[in-house]
Amino acid sequence: MKKRLLALSMAMIMAAGTLAGCTGDTAPASTTGGDEGGSTTTEATPTEKPVLDENVEVVDVSEEVEGKVLNIYCWNEEFKSRLTDHYPGYTEVDATHGKIGDIDVVWNITPSDDNAYQNNLDETLLKQDSAAADDKIDLFLVEADYALKYVDTDYTMPVTDLGISLSELSTQYKYTQDVMTSSDGKLKGVSWQGCPGVLIYNREAAKTVLGSDEPADVQAAVKDWDTYKATAADMKKAGYYMTATVNDTYRTFSNNVSVPWVSADKKVQVDDNIKRWVDDSKEMYDAGEIKSTENLWGDAWSSGFYPDGKVFCYFGPAWLINFCMAADTDGSIANQGGWGATEGPQGFFWGGTWICAANGTDNKATVADIMRKLTVDKDIMVDIVKKDDDFVNNQPAMEELAASDYTSAVFGGQNPLGMFAAGAKNISLDKISAYDQGCNEEFQNAMKDYFDGNADYDTALNKFYDAITTKYPALSK
Amino acid sequence: MKKKKSVVSYNKWGYIFLIPFAVVFVIFQLIPLVNTIKNSFFEHYRDGLTIIGPNWVGLKNYGKLFSEGNILKYFKNTMIMWIMGFVPQIIISLLFAAWFSDPSLRLKCQRFFKTVIYLPNLIMASAFSMLFFTLFSTVGPVNDILIKLGIIKEAYDFMAHTGSVRTLVALMNCLMWFGNTTILLLAGMMGIDTALFEAAEVDGATANQVFWKITLPILKPILIYVMVTSLIGGLQMFDVPQILTDGKGSPNNSATTLIMCLNNHLYSKNYGMGGALSVILFFITGVLSIIVFKFSGNEDKYGKA
């Protein structure tokens, strides 16, 4: 009995000890958590897009001592190949290491699937202050859908603090700078590409149904949404689907909204133009003019890359056509040069990658030089266009190339750059919010039930509100 | 006196041998458990890169779960998919176990078949789920075959209908676990004294009577064990529906399980809501287990009396 009591008391002491241990541990942690919450700049979702302050003082960094290691965070090989192929002085050591002069370049590549890239980046950024100089992130990449999440924080460094003056960046398209402008008017990142989208059409289908595959004639058949719908009906009669999925047209609607997804007081709002996408898509899907309700990147979506898929058009920017539409696979339409490009019913943009300097970097001059070389240097940028078929963020260079004899093989010899250049000038990003990525994804997910006939519009909408407030607890309906 | 001393020194060794377990248990189970319960009373999440909280909010997280969180719906989904998978699973397993353990059937290649039925369990659930996702997609082989055989005219979207998604999840769970259950039941059946069967045979009992009146009642503790473990596993159902529906629980959240909901809350590192949901799940599991045990315990008493 005595022994049992002893054992019991020991067990209790042990349990109590652990309890005390964890309260002791967590108390300071919670206070630091609170402090961090207080010290970071609050993310005010602006009702009006901030304007770039032209008079920000440019810091001279030429005297600063450079760190030994340049840590780059990104989600795929694209930026690495740009740096390897086009940045003078970069030599590759192995898959995750390189060298620029004496500086070791360390690549930390995390795929963006399931938000893994941002999760990893966020954890590292939150520890940025306490990390050793060689472990701090120096440079990282962001996409338009979540750029604001980083722009309005102290974790990104204004380019002027890197020694880059705004006048140096005058050749860039304005929208690429608008995205990265913080609410206090500072430019927090630059991009080497522009992502204006066009309507990419199947030339064979155009010939069969519309009688011509000339961009101007096709444009007449898709010039606005009503004409577009009429053409869809003709396509259906000829055995073609207008688009592969309902989500193909999504960006053309969501880029032309009158209110952002999230209002200044953090309420989620659905714009009339987004509602219009729902109505139009539902109507066309029910009429059998759209092939599937599946997500982009799925099997049904990519089936249209081949002639048997019987899909008339896709919506996308330069990177979609060159990297995603199976141009390297025998028998694909892109491989045979069977696509054409035209403006489509409305202008839009999709994607784009921006280079940000992380606050706390000890390689300011190197980061600045990478930014200058890849996003301003005309020769390098023209080289990117010629080698990689990308559309670069350099207005004069693109206009020059648009007028030149540059042709694109996937477009059967068409030069689409003029169209892209015109589109890039008109892109406006004043209706974006820090939560766009989640809003776009969850809205498309929720509406799939409506398109499939599993829910009415209101049920689907409630499901969206439910999902978005779960994903971003700061938001409310 | 001497005797007492030796007992005490043995005790010492007992405690020493317990240390590894105790340390592992405390670090990996007890502390997280206590922390989870603690977290459930705080508002603590990320808004972009800003950390909100932790602020004490009492039971607000629990209230929110029930008022806005659809938690009852997710619980219902989880249970429906578990039952849809468990009922066929236990029937098939019982049948197989009875066949394997019946010496009069003289089954050949028993070892081979026992290995084969256990194999699906060795595949990672996520890989298995991915495989089904590809097989049953609108442009996948199942639709191709059905169309070519002339059974259906147009591709059937398995992922867009509540019934088909739940059936697929249940089918996968059943396929993955029936081998495991068969082995467990088989072990139980082999443990039954063969004298009982022989006596029954001498008394002229049919095979059916032997199964229902002898095998099943003696097998009950094993059956209850199988049921409880499967129930707890079922409540924690996550990987199969998560991957089959690409994390969306579509259509219309009809395949969203409780743990998938928990996973959604952790997107913004929402420890408060995540903690509250975990605590509720802990209680549901506890209550269900107690019910199953109580139910079986009473019957045992009657059996013995």
Q: Is residue B48 part of a domain?
A: no
Same domain, A117 and A150: yes
Q: How far is A285 from chain B (nearest CA, A)?
A: 14
Chain B hits for A445, Cβ within 8 Å: 248, 250
Q: Report the residue count for chain B.
A: 305
Same domain, A206 and A90: no
Interacting residues of B143 by C-beta distance below 8 A, sequence separation 6+: B136, B137, B152, B155, B156
Using the beta-carbon criterion (under 8 Å), do B247 and A434 form an inter-chain contact? no
Q: Is residue A3 part of a domain?
A: no
Q: Is residue A52 part of a domain?
A: no
At residue A76, the pLDDT reads: 86
B contact set with A (CB within 8 A) = 11, 22, 26, 30-31, 34-35, 38, 44-54, 68-70, 137-140, 157, 160-162, 246-248, 250-253, 261, 264-265, 267-268, 270, 273
Same domain, A305 and A366: no
Q: How far is A467 from chain B (nearest CA, A)?
A: 8
Using the beta-carbon criterion (under 8 Å), do A153 and B48 form an inter-chain contact? yes
Same domain, A446 and A319: yes
Same domain, A219 and A186: no
Single pTM value for the model: 0.81
Distance, in Å, from the CA atom of A252 to the CA atom of A471, rounded to the nearest integer, reads 25
Question: Which of A361, A382, A403 is the endpoint of a domain?
Answer: A403
Same domain, A105 and A160: yes
Backbone phi and psi for residue A72, each to the nearest 5 degrees, phi listed first: -115, 125
At residue B5, the pLDDT reads: 55
Backbone phi and psi for residue A92, each to the nearest 5 degrees, phi listed first: -85, 135
**Sequence-ordered strand ranges (E) for A195-261:** 198-202, 243-245
Chain B hits for A474, Cβ within 8 Å: 45, 47, 52, 268
- Mean pLDDT in consecutive groups of 10 residues from the start of chain B, 305 residues: 58 88 94 93 87 86 84 92 95 91 81 88 90 88 91 85 92 92 91 88 88 88 87 91 87 89 89 92 87 65 43
Q: Is residue B176 part of a domain?
A: yes
Q: Is residue B26 part of a domain?
A: no
At residue A49, the pLDDT reads: 64
Same domain, A341 and A461: yes
Using the beta-carbon criterion (under 8 Å), do A463 and B26 form an inter-chain contact? no
Using the beta-carbon criterion (under 8 Å), do A22 and B34 form an inter-chain contact? yes
Report the CATH number that the domain containing residue B273 is assigned in CATH. 1.10.3720.10
Distance, in Å, from the CA atom of A137 to the CA atom of A361, rounded to the nearest integer, reads 6
Nearest to A22 among B22, B31, B246 (CB): B31
Average model confidence (pLDDT) for chain A?
Answer: 83
At residue A17, the pLDDT reads: 41
Using the beta-carbon criterion (under 8 Å), do B52 and A463 form an inter-chain contact? no
CA distances from A297 to A324, A464, B124 (A): 9, 21, 24
Q: What are the pLDDT digits (tens) for A350-387?
A: 888 999 999 988 888 899 999 998 999 888 998 888 88
Element spanning B295, H or E = helix B271-304
Residues forming a β-bridge with A9: none
Q: Give the count of domains, chain B.
A: 1
At residue B4, the pLDDT reads: 54
Q: Is residue A423 part of a domain?
A: no
Using the beta-carbon criterion (under 8 Å), do B138 and A294 form an inter-chain contact? yes
Q: What are the pLDDT digits (tens) for A432-475?
A: 888 888 899 899 989 998 998 888 999 999 999 989 998 898 88
Using the beta-carbon criterion (under 8 Å), do B251 and A445 form an inter-chain contact? no
Element spanning B243, H or E = helix B239-244
Q: How far is B107 from chain A (nearest CA, A)?
A: 45
Chain A hits for B251, Cβ within 8 Å: 448-449, 452, 454-455
Distance, in Å, from the CA atom of A237 to the CA atom of A257, rounded to the nearest integer, reads 32
Q: Which domain holds residue A123?
A: 69-195+351-403
User: Do A314 and A244 contact (CB within 8 A), yes or no?
Assistant: yes
Instruction: Compare all CA atoms of chain A with the CA of B51 and give the residue at the minimum distance.
Output: A37
Residues forming a β-bridge with A417: none
Which three-class secondary structure state does DSSP give residue A108?
strand
At residue B178, the pLDDT reads: 92
| CB hemisphere CA count around B7 (13 angstroms) | 5
Backbone phi and psi for residue A108, each to the nearest 5 degrees, phi listed first: -115, 95
User: Do A391 and A193 contact (CB within 8 A), yes or no?
Assistant: yes
Using the beta-carbon criterion (under 8 Å), do A469 and B53 form an inter-chain contact? no
Q: What are the pLDDT digits (tens) for A208-244?
A: 999 888 888 999 999 899 999 999 999 999 999 999 9
Q: Is residue B231 part of a domain?
A: yes
Q: Is residue B43 part of a domain?
A: no
Q: Is A406 exposed, middle or buried (0-12, 13-18, 19+ CB in 10 A)?
A: middle
Same domain, A265 and A322: yes
Q: Is residue B77 part of a domain?
A: yes
Q: How far is B176 from chain A (nearest CA, A)?
A: 26
Q: How far is B149 from chain A (nearest CA, A)?
A: 20
Q: Which two tokens stand for residue A463?
A: 């499901």
Q: Is residue B31 part of a domain?
A: no
Report the CATH number that the domain containing residue A147 is assigned in CATH. 3.40.190.10
Q: Which domain holds residue B114?
A: 60-126+156-304
Q: Give the count of domains, chain A.
A: 2
Chain B hits for A19, Cβ within 8 Å: 34
At residue A33, the pLDDT reads: 36
The residue-averaged pLDDT of A327-342 equals 85
Distance, in Å, from the CA atom of A184 to the CA atom of A163, rounded to the nearest integer, reads 18
Q: Is residue B227 part of a domain?
A: yes
User: Which of A167, A176, A168 is closest to A147 using CA atoms?
Assistant: A176
Q: Is residue A280 part of a domain?
A: yes
Q: What are the pLDDT digits (tens) for A74-133?
A: 998 888 988 888 988 888 888 889 888 888 999 999 998 878 899 899 999 988 888 888
Q: Model confidence at A290, in pLDDT bands (50, 70, 90)?
A: very high
Cβ neighbour number for residue B38 with a 10 Å cutoff: 16
| CB hemisphere CA count around B58 (13 angstroms) | 3
At residue B180, the pLDDT reads: 92
Same domain, A384 and A296: no
Distance, in Å, from the CA atom of B95 to the CA atom of B110, rounded to the nearest integer, reads 14
